[in-house]
Amino acid sequence: MLSTKAKISGLTLIELLAVISIIAIIAALLLPAKSGRGPSYRARCMSNLKQIDLGFYMYADDNGGNFPMRTAVTNDGMTAFNYSSYAFPNFKKLSTYSIHPTIFVCPLDKDRQAATNFESLKDLNISYFLNADASHTNSPSQNFITGDRNLSSSGKLVKAGLFILTTNLDMSWTREIHSMGGNLAFADGHVEWVRTNQLNSIVQRQLLDTNHIVIP
């Protein structure tokens, strides 16, 4: 038997709850970093695309409603690169719109490293494809301009370079970056999280039957 004068050390209920709360907060902070594919990373990727989308939108406002892909070279545009295998020349055109090249890399894309400046920007510093046929004036809310590069066609990974996207293809996302889908940025400035089973319907709603997609 303990003496009535003996002191019993231990945690009070309030102290125990405080410890549990601290552990829960730490776990919540560490879990997304461990899983690597949670909603917080998806949101960061969407934020990147939103800024890129806004940059293209502002470029169009300054160039007669045309994105750089649809602006003549004589007007400082990029039509000469429309059907090339490189995306970075068009992304470089966003340098004058308070955009930093680090946003061109999705936080889940471990195969890409962000460029420190626009001068050194190459396709290996970009996680997002480019639709060379995107239009700012025709059905912009349905016409996507860019999105996650991990596209799949008929079950096969779409490789880097120029990809001819037609509305009758069976398109999906690979699990290379996001596990349940991918992000698309549209010509009207909005960004959507698109699950694999939704991608084909969006492709079929494109203004053109054929779109030239540049995969970095």
So where are the chain's domains? 40-215
Confidence of residue 31 (pLDDT cuts 50, 70, 90): very low
Q: At what angle do helices 13-35 and 39-62 cross, to 10 degrees?
A: 50
107 or 78: which carries more pLDDT confidence? 107
165-178 residues labelled b (16+ CB within 10 A) or e (exposed): beeebebbbbebbb
pTM metric for this prediction: 0.80
Question: What stretches of 108-209 adopt beta strand conformation (E)?
Answer: 128-131, 144-148, 151-153, 156-157, 161-166, 171-173, 181-186, 191-195
pLDDT over 70 (residue 199): yes
Pick the residue with more confidence: 199 or 7? 199
- Residue 185 scores a pLDDT above 80: yes
For residue 65, the model assigns a pLDDT of: 85
The one-letter amino acid at 102: T
- Whether the pLDDT of residue 62 is over 60: the answer is yes
Helix-strand-coil split of the chain, %, nearest 5? 40, 20, 45
pLDDT tens digits along 109-159? 999 999 999 999 999 999 999 999 998 888 889 999 999 999 999 999 999
Contact 125, 114 (CB under 8 A): yes
| pLDDT, position 98 | 84
pLDDT in tens, 37-53: 567 888 999 999 999 99
Q: How high is the pLDDT of residue 138?
A: 81
In this structure, the number of other CB atoms found within 10 A of the CB of residue 25 comes to 10
Please, what is the average pLDDT of the chain? Answer: 84
> Would you say residue 35 has pLDDT above 50?
no
Write out pLDDT tens, residues 168-178. 999 999 998 99
